Amino acid sequence: METILFLAFTDDEGKLAKAQLETLTAARLLTDGLPDAVFCAGFIGGAAQPAADQIAACGAGRFLAAAGEDFSQPRYATDAEAAEALARAAGATIILSAGVSRWSRIAGGVAHRIGGRADTHATMLRAANGAPEIQRWYYRQRMIATIQRKHRPWVISVDPGCFEPWTGQTGTASIKNVAVAVGDGDKRTRFESFKAPAANQQTIRPDAELLLVAGAGWTKKQRDGQIHVPDAEKLILGFLDKTQASLGGSKSLVDQSGDGNTVLSFMTHLNQIGQTGATPRHPKGLATCCHGEEPHVVGWRFVTQRRAVNLDPNCGWAHGKADVLYVTDAFEVMTKVNELLQKQT
């Protein structure tokens, strides 16, 4: 019989963020597929009651917490101590947590402490013939593996963006606080602050409905024999401003700054999509001035609806890589699109 522990970090208000709620959906799916499984929830953070109340109706038999000042900030030693204590208190055979940075830092260590095994980047969980199994991708999303393990405890990180966030009635949950032996040595690392770009400079928005990809074509000579980088910047930023889309780039484009070429000032290597870049999960994607070569398109694996604008009817997108290819000038298209968006506001 499995005891499944949904383990989550709480936010500054003591609540659960989207990635945690997605993992709760995964945990519920797995539990529901294993009729005799026991399901419990565990929280680590400054406060836990708001989180427990938020998911009071999730069907957990027990709500456990390691909460308080010692756990309010991310720190390997205290987070790992807390996760170990919660896993032991629950008697968990399977521990599921969202693969956010705070958990990814400790997942392997926690598995080691409890004599378990860890798997990361799970994109699917299910019960198959009464046994839990997960799927994850390898070789930059080119191969998918289905994994079962006999060893317990089994620690699993669930990739954000793969499940719908759990929704249900709030309520009043009764929490059991689990004692965690935190010594002074555990608190040598001090968290100071998050550093993030100002909201209007932040172009990477993992939760956005739409991904706009800009390719190197934006910085190439156009039909008039000139390059039009300032126009390109204005069009792309105008579109992002109006749609709050996330911005991706091709490798050729993001590499240009290193090559001393004329560049889009807001484009960095963090924006790169593809084999050596990111593999985001947006419902829709629009590629502009990007050729759609395989090393780039492999980063679109999890983008559900793909469209591209390219002057070249024989570009990579035309070879089955996009659902819709508009063979036209992206400068003209995006000017028109921005005008239409402007009218809507």
Size of the site for ligand FAD (CB under 6 A): 30
The CA distances from residue 10 to 67, 74, 340, in Å, are 9, 11, 41
- Residue 27's H or E segment, with its range, is helix 18-33
Q: How far is the CB of 252 from ligand FAD (least distance, A)?
A: 3
- The residue type of 279 is T
Q: Which is nearer to ligand FAD, 74 or 248 (CB)?
A: 248
Out of 153, 274, 280, 285, which residue is the one contacting ligand FAD (CB under 6 A)?
274
Q: How far is the CB of 202 from ligand FAD (least distance, A)?
A: 21
Distance between CA atoms of residues 214 and 248, nearest Å: 6
Q: How far is the CB of 325 from ligand FAD (least distance, A)?
A: 11
Residue 201: how many other CB atoms lie within 10 Å: 8
Distance between CA atoms of residues 206 and 219, nearest Å: 25
Q: How far is the CB of 299 from ligand FAD (least distance, A)?
A: 6
Distance between CA atoms of residues 305 and 282, nearest Å: 9
Residue with tokens 């994607």, as numbered in its chain: 285
User: Per-residue x/- mask for ligand FAD, residues 203 to 222, rule CB under 6 A?
Assistant: ------------xxx--x-x
Cβ atoms of 345 and 242 closer than 8 Å: yes
Q: How far is the CB of 201 from ligand FAD (least distance, A)?
A: 22
295-334: contacts with ligand FAD (CB under 6 A)? 295-296, 299, 309-312, 315, 329-331
Kindly state whether residue 168 participates in binding ligand FAD, applying the rule CB under 6 A: no
Kindly state whether residue 290 participates in binding ligand FAD, applying the rule CB under 6 A: yes
Cβ atoms of 37 and 4 closer than 8 Å: yes
Q: If we measure between CA atoms, which residue out of 269, 36, 227, 30 comes closest to residue 135? A: 30
Q: How far is the CB of 330 from ligand FAD (least distance, A)?
A: 4
Q: If we measure between CA atoms, which residue out of 235, 8, 35 comes closest to residue 103? A: 8
Q: How far is the CB of 312 from ligand FAD (least distance, A)?
A: 4
In a 3-state reduction of DSSP, which class is residue 113? helix
Out of 30, 253, 303, 322, which residue is the one contacting ligand FAD (CB under 6 A)?
253
75-94: contacts with ligand FAD (CB under 6 A)? none
Identify any residues that bridge with 249 across adjacent strands, giving them in sequence order: 214, 272
Kindly state whether residue 252 participates in binding ligand FAD, applying the rule CB under 6 A: yes
Q: Which is nearer to ligand FAD, 265 or 276 (CB)?
A: 276
Cis status, amide bond into 153, omega within 30 of 0:
yes
Q: Which is nearer to ligand FAD, 130 or 230 (CB)?
A: 230
Give the interface with ligand FAD as residue ranges (CB under 6 A). Answer: 215-217, 220, 222, 250-253, 272-277, 289-291, 293, 295-296, 299, 309-312, 315, 329-331
